[in-house]
Copies of this chain bind each other. A is one copy, B any other.
């Protein structure tokens, strides 16, 4: 294990501790950290059932907390450490948050063993939507492009 990996492994160990501690606290078995320049910015742990929020995955909670701590909607330069491979929700959240790197300890197959649908959702994402059981329907109405016209005409817009 390289020195680089050893640093990563220490942060990952902390995510795994968080994940395990979170179970007794009523959450799912997932923990995450946002780290910048070798320092912890924020922790997150899964609160889906505890907070009745299906988006409260550990990574999402950590990203939101880190943005609050840094008073920014961008985490450029930061690393996301997570006890388990980010699901599509968390992977996309990390992309939108503009983190530099993601490092994970367990993977989608471990999550499946725990009864979680990460693997299933990755498989869905890899398939054409027309084959999905859940309909995702495009219905173009005359007004569809209007918000983007208004956005581009709005000179004070903040891009992200």
By the criterion CB–CB under 8 Å, are A136 and B105 in contact? no
Chain B residues with CB under 8 Å of A106's CB are 140, 144-145, 147-148
Dominant SS at the A interface?
A: mixed
Contacts known (A55-B64, A73-B49, A89-B96); A12 close to B148, Cβ less than 8 A: no
**Closest Cβ of chain B: how far from A156's Cβ, in Å?**
9
Size of chain A's interface in residues, with CB distance under 8 A?
86
A35: Cβ under 8 A from any B Cβ: no
By the criterion CB–CB under 8 Å, are B137 and A103 in contact? yes
Chain B residues with CB under 8 Å of A12's CB are 139, 141, 143-144
13 contacting pairs across A/B (C-beta < 8 A): A8-B139, A26-B158, A48-B73, A52-B72, A54-B73, A55-B55, A89-B89, A89-B96, A95-B124, A102-B135, A102-B137, A107-B138, A115-B152
